Amino acid sequence: MTKWIEGKRLFIPVALILFGYIYSQIEAAGSYVAALPYIMSPTAQMGFVLFFFAFTASALARLAPGPGPKFLMRNRRYIGLSFALVHFVHGGIVLSNLALTEASRGIPELMVGGLAYLFLGLMALTSNNASVRKLGAKRWKRLHKVGSYYIWLIFVVTSLGRVASFGPEPGHTWVPILGLVALGLRIAAHQKGKRKKAA
């Protein structure tokens, strides 16, 4: 039943939802600039959902093997690439907001966020079998592990900052909660793997 969204075809529903939402907000607001406050957070949140499933796919497959986790494992590469698509669009929206409005961000904040995008770009460019062969499995895994944990950290810290600034509203709290759940799943899966090896 899910074969029509397997592999590269995952990009189709992701792109339709992403660009359909952005277009609807621009139409409703009357201009791109007027729509910027309504598309920045939602595009980041959409990216986080995709990141969550890419980040936890192997942990879920180890902890609760079944059709859902198997689907995630089969398509983890394309879920990750879909996340890259959404998040680079989000990055473009953030930069255009800085360029077209009075909004500003400090140099340290831009550098921290820029490093996350550097990792994301490298991970997207190396999400293919040829790169695994060229880099070697060990270095490839190290790049993707460090990059994914850094991106996870940025999501959690940024969302916690919003909670501190705007209060514990549902729109601000679900990202750090799911972020901590994702970390817990990975730790639990790691511990299960260690126990299995010991046995």
pTM recorded for the entire structure: 0.93
User: Tell me, what's the pLDDT at 1?
Assistant: 47
Q: Which of 71-85, 131-145, 183-197 has the lowest mean pLDDT?
A: 183-197
Residue among 95, 82, 84 nearest 32 (CA): 95
Range of the domain at 173: 3-198
Model pLDDT for residues 157-197, shown as the tens digit of each residue: 999 888 877 777 666 789 999 999 999 999 999 998 888 77
The Cα–Cα gap between 95 and 114 comes to 11
Q: Is the pLDDT of residue 142 over 80?
A: yes
Supply φ then ψ for residue 154, to 5 degrees: -60, -45
Number of domains in the chain: 1
